[in-house]
């Protein structure tokens, strides 16, 4: 059996920094000498090549242009490699993993995002485990085929579907969670893969690269006391084409007539409004309570159990397709990459 070929793509982030043992200063890690710095990688049953951004970026500066760069690298190298590991800053990793899941249509190989909370050269770093196990996960094969065939995120012993994740902690090693979907695999003494939860794409279809993303969107988080002028300013902006409203509980919002009227006016003018719960877990169920039935009546799109991060990526992706209003609503409410139940 031929060893799997894995491409490691370094975009930036804490995982790519190494601490000087003498001065304590952080400097960029040289991924060209990866095997020299982390000899444990030689124990993995795969061939590893690396590719780095010319100028590594902090993930706070991540945007759709960089998403397209990552997606194009994967597309261009798709037939050469059996799996891909993307090293990325943790702050916006869930957004990037969600975006790549939409950009890489008909993906049938693993694309695993990972990073770390501490630099790779730190004494107590989580970087080595995350990196080594991500490569191992991307190398898993069954009868010559990759076991994982989707965009994932690996962090602190667990592999998640990328577009189901949210960063939940800025300090703990367990920085991510997937509150509405089970984790796909877990690393312990053995790698345990929950095969029943993996995406099962149509292997007969060619990979299609979709890098067009429309960024003319916004997020409005509801809170008690939100004022009419603020909502009005957001909804009547001439630039905005799509809006995510983070509502209470299972999709509930104030029943004040001015609020509902403003939403209805905006929808009638062509604004796509998506209802996503501001709770960490759970699902929007419009019509379950009176406080959401009016949103359903006026045509607000149900985000169901999608995360805000995945909703952002999906909204940008679908807006670029210039769909009719009815088709847009139907398509958004339909799972495309396993991002919602």
Q: Is the pLDDT of residue 98 over 90?
A: yes
**CATH code of the region 217-332:** 3.40.50.40
pLDDT tens-place string over residues 198-250: 999 999 999 999 999 999 999 999 999 999 999 999 999 999 999 999 999 99
Question: How many CB atoms are located within 10 Å of the residue 109 CB?
Answer: 21
- Looking at the chain, the domain(s) classified CATH 3.40.50.40 span 217-332
Residue 17 has pLDDT above 90, yes or no: no
Residues carrying an active site annotation: 14
Give yes or no for residue 290 having a pLDDT over 90: no
Q: Is the pLDDT at 21 greater than 80, yes or no?
A: no
SS3 58: coil
Secondary-structure class of domain 5-209 per CATH: alpha beta
d(CA 92, CA 166): 9
- E strands, the chain, are 5-10, 17-19, 26-28, 47-52, 83-87, 104-105, 111-114, 141-142, 145-146, 151-155, 158-161, 166-167, 176-177, 185-187, 191-193, 208-209, 217-221, 242-247, 272-277, 301-302
Q: What average pLDDT does the segment 165-178 reach?
A: 94
Judge whether residue 62 has pLDDT over 90. Answer: yes
Higher pLDDT, 24 or 180: 180
Q: Which residue ranges does the chain devote to CATH 3.40.50.1170?
A: 5-209
């Amino acid at each position: 059996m031929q060893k799997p070929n894995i491409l490691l793509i370094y975009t930036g982030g804490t995982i790519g920094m190494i601490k000087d043992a003498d001065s304590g200063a952080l400097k960029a890690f040289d991924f060209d000498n990866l095997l020299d710095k982390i000899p444990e990688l030689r124990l993995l049953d795969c061939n590893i090549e690396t590719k780095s951004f010319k100028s590594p970026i902090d993930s706070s500066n991540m945007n759709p242009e960089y998403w397209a760069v990552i997606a194009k690298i994967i597309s261009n190298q798709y037939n050469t490699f059996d799996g891909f590991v993307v090293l990325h800053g943790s702050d916006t990793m869930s957004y990037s993993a969600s975006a790549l899941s939409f950009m890489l249509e008909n993906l049938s190989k693993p694309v695993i995002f990972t990073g770390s909370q501490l630099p790779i050269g730190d004494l107590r770093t989580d970087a080595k485990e995350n990196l080594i196990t991500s490569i191992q996960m991307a190398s898993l094969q069954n009868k010559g085929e990759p076991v994982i065939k989707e965009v994932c995120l690996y962090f602190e012993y667990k592999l998640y579907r990328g577009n189901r994740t949210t960063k939940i902690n800025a300090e703990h090693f367990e920085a991510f969670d997937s509150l509405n979907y089970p984790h796909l695999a877990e690393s312990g003494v053995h790698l345990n893969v929950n095969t029943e939860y993996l995406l099962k794409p149509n292997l007969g279809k060619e990979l299609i690269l979709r890098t067009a993303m429309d960024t003319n969107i916004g997020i409005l988080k509801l809170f008690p006391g939100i004022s009419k002028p603020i909502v009005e300013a957001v909804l009547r902006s001439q630039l905005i084409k799509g809006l995510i409203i983070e509502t209470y509980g299972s999709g509930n919002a104030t029943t004040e007539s001015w609020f509902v009227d403003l939403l209805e006016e905006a929808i009638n003018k062509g604004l796509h409004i998506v209802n996503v719960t501001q709770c960490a877990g759970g699902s929007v169920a419009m019509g379950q309570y009176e406080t959401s039935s009016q949103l359903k009546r006026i045509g607000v799109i149900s985000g169901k159990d999608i995360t805000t991060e995945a909703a952002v990526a999906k909204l940008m992706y679908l807006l670029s397709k210039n769909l009719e209003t009815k088709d847009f609503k139907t398509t958004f409410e339909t799972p495309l990459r396993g991002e919602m139940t």
